Chains A and B, each alone.
Chain A
Amino acid sequence: MNREDFPMLKDDFVYFDNAATTLKPKKVIDVMNQYYLKHTSNIHRGDYDFAIQTNKLYDHVRDIISKFVNCESSEVVYTSGATMSMNMVVFGYMKNHLKKDDEIIISKAEHASNILPWMKLSEEIGVILKYVPLNENYELTLDSIKSCVTSKTKVISLAHVTNVLGDVRDIQAIGKFARTNNILFHVDGAQSVPHMPVDFKKSYIDFLSFSGHKMCGPTGVGVLVGRYDLLKEMEPVFYGGGMNSSFEEDLTYELKDVPVKFEAGTPPIAEVIGLGEAINYLMEIGMDKIHEYEIKLKKYLLSKLKDIPNLIIYNKNMNSGILAFNIDGVFAQDASIYLNHYNICVRAGNHCAKMLKDEMNIKNTVRVSMYFYNNYEDVDRLVEALKNSKDIFNVVL
């Protein structure tokens, strides 16, 4: 649906790499161009008309985001992306509130950005990382989380939707359990916020990280939503202009309030405005509708792939638009290079989840990740190419 909104889709290719980044609708590009062509100016303190306009647009995006994920505008921190958001949580909050032997629950299916900061924190202050075991379908259940929780568990940090297998975690149940047991709950929403409704308050989330570029927005901008009382206690990772109210020779300084105290320096202004436009665009379509459509499309793909014998599919049952597979006997990258010959864009590799191999016994997969602008014809083209894959080496060599 809505294909006509995307200038890149005028060209002849099938884009199935949406978990890596999404295409941009013209609206988003236009609003950013407007900033560069008509009202380039810095935010804060501008007294001329178009600086005031920029400021208004920039600030208003917090309201758009608060409506989008159901939080307060004061709980919205602009970041450079989900990676920065998660690093801020770990090094700005957790580092100052956790101590040696406190336990963090994560899983081996997490993206590097939800593992490495915790590993670094473990190295620095001695917190312990515990990996929730996944079931035979590589899914994670509340019961398996419960089996990992001890009196020392302080944090549960999980992707809502994982980026390799696309399994959807029941964050509302996990969040409720965490809140009841005084455990902080961080959700990596990079793969879910773009694709389905996410409710910060209803899911008892304490910190939510996501990126703009995976949801029709520009690169270089993302969001950290944090519970206001926690943000109050969180330390900035960066210090500089825009985030302080005063500083003196005697080493005293005062910072601005949440969330501005986390936004030192000139932020990506055009990108924030672009992100706001992207979110408005998604809300107009409807997140429920987007999710339903992607599931329908994935089911159609699975029904078509049934007849292809040499495919190994790893995540048939996952309720998202991500499909991970291999062509039997073909290295994942050779398969993605093969599909490129048919102008089909997919991704091959471990998808930044380098520990998932311990659970799956397979290092690399080909990943098809869909978005609402994919259509049945895209799926048919992929299926046709895969049907012909017997001659893969004639094509790639």
Chain B
Amino acid sequence: MDNNIRREIILDNYQEPVNKGLIEDDSYLKANMNSESCIDNLDFMIKIENNIIKDIRFDGEACAISTSATSIMIQKLIGKTVDEVKNILENYKNMIHEKSYDKEIIGELIVYDEIGKQPNRINCALLPATAVEKVLEKLN
């Protein structure tokens, strides 16, 4: 991917992330991501109805990578079934860890395909994936 396009997508999502700001609604499941490895601290709330991700919102302070990855992932996951989400997250994590993954499934999240080369950024990119997984665990 062209570096300028990559940078533009990340920067757009960092500076104007979607669904930033939490709302009062008990029908959402919540997770806090106070990263142990860095200083990112984001709260997530996710609404799941009939096995489908209806909405994801987040708030807090985090770096450009965590925030933009959250924004891009929110757009990717809303409307998907829980199983589809699990599959996306699996492929996304594989990409971050430089293992094999399906590009078709990843979509725009591909902008982070080289993040594995910066070890101090891996956890930033994984933060939204871990948050969503944390919420999905609550379903069981």
Interface residues of A (CB under 8 A from B): 331-334, 337, 348-350, 363-364, 393-394, 396-397
Taking a contact as CB atoms under 8 Å apart, the answer to whether B120 and A397 are in contact is no
Taking a contact as CB atoms under 8 Å apart, the answer to whether A396 and B39 are in contact is no
Supposing A332-B39, A337-B120, A349-B39 touch, asked if A394 and B7 sit within 8 A by C-beta, the answer is: yes
Q: Enumerate chain A residues within 8 angstroms of B7, measured Cβ to Cβ.
A: 393-394, 397
Q: Enumerate chain B residues within 8 angstroms of A333, measured Cβ to Cβ.
A: 38-40, 63
Q: Enumerate chain A residues within 8 angstroms of B65, measured Cβ to Cβ.
A: 397
Taking a contact as CB atoms under 8 Å apart, the answer to whether B11 and A364 are in contact is no
Chain B residues numbered 30-46 whose CB sits less than 8 Å from any CB in chain A: 38-41
CB distance from B43 to the nearest CB of A (A): 13
- 30 CB-based A-B contacts, threshold 8 Å: A331-B62, A331-B63, A331-B64, A331-B67, A333-B39, A333-B40, A333-B63, A334-B63, A334-B64, A337-B63, A348-B39, A349-B38, A349-B39, A350-B39, A363-B39, A363-B61, A364-B39, A364-B61, A393-B7, A393-B10, A393-B11, A393-B14, A393-B64, A394-B7, A397-B6, A397-B7, A397-B10, A397-B11, A397-B64, A397-B65
Bound-state Cα–Cα, A337 to B11, Å: 16
Which of chain B's residues has its CB closest to A348's CB?
A: B39
Q: Enumerate chain B residues within 8 angstroms of A350, measured Cβ to Cβ.
A: 39
Bound-state Cα–Cα, A349 to B120, Å: 14
CB distance from A84 to the nearest CB of B (A): 22
Bound-state Cα–Cα, A363 to B10, Å: 23
Q: Is the interface of B mostly helix, strand, loop or mixed?
A: helix
Chain B contact residue count (CB 8 A cutoff) = 17
Taking a contact as CB atoms under 8 Å apart, the answer to whether A396 and B64 are in contact is yes
CB distance from A348 to the nearest CB of B (A): 6
Q: Enumerate chain A residues within 8 angstroms of B121, measured Cβ to Cβ.
A: 337
Chain B residues numbered 2-19 whose CB sits less than 8 Å from any CB in chain A: 6-7, 10-11, 14
Q: Enumerate chain B residues within 8 angstroms of A331, measured Cβ to Cβ.
A: 61-64, 67
Q: Enumerate chain A residues within 8 angstroms of B120, measured Cβ to Cβ.
A: 337
* Those 9 A-B pairs whose CB atoms lie nearest each other, nearest first: A349-B39, A333-B63, A331-B63, A397-B7, A334-B63, A334-B64, A397-B10, A364-B39, A393-B11
Interface 0/1 of B61-74, CB less than 8 Å to A: 11111010000000
Bound-state Cα–Cα, A394 to B64, Å: 12
Q: Of A331, A363, A394, which is in contact with the most chain B CB atoms at under 10 Å from its CB? A: A331
Chain B residues numbered 101-140 whose CB sits less than 8 Å from any CB in chain A: 120-121
Q: Enumerate chain B residues within 8 angstroms of A348, measured Cβ to Cβ.
A: 39
Bound-state Cα–Cα, A350 to B41, Å: 11
Q: Enumerate chain A residues within 8 angstroms of B64, measured Cβ to Cβ.
A: 331, 334, 393, 396-397
Which of chain B's residues has its CB closest to A340's CB?
A: B120
CB distance from A19 to the nearest CB of B (A): 16
CB distance from B112 to the nearest CB of A (A): 10
17 new A-B pairs (CB below 8 Å) besides A332-B39, A334-B63, A363-B61? A331-B61, A331-B62, A331-B67, A333-B39, A334-B64, A349-B39, A350-B39, A363-B39, A364-B39, A393-B7, A393-B10, A393-B11, A393-B14, A393-B64, A394-B7, A397-B64, A397-B65
Q: Enumerate chain A residues within 8 angstroms of B67, measured Cβ to Cβ.
A: 331
Bound-state Cα–Cα, A334 to B121, Å: 10
Taking a contact as CB atoms under 8 Å apart, the answer to whether A363 and B41 are in contact is yes
Which of chain A's residues has its CB closest to B11's CB?
A: A393
Which of chain A's residues has its CB closest to B68's CB?
A: A397
CB distance from B62 to the nearest CB of A (A): 7
Bound-state Cα–Cα, A189 to B48, Å: 51
Q: Enumerate chain B residues within 8 angstroms of A393, measured Cβ to Cβ.
A: 7, 10-11, 14, 64
Q: Of A332, A333, A364, which is in contact with the most chain B CB atoms at under 10 Å from its CB? A: A333
CB distance from A33 to the nearest CB of B (A): 30
CB distance from A222 to the nearest CB of B (A): 24
Q: Enumerate chain A residues within 8 angstroms of B63, measured Cβ to Cβ.
A: 331, 333-334, 337
Bound-state Cα–Cα, A397 to B112, Å: 10
CB distance from B122 to the nearest CB of A (A): 13
Q: Enumerate chain A residues within 8 angstroms of B14, measured Cβ to Cβ.
A: 393
CB distance from B21 to the nearest CB of A (A): 17
Q: Enumerate chain A residues within 8 angstroms of B10, measured Cβ to Cβ.
A: 393, 397
CB distance from B20 to the nearest CB of A (A): 14
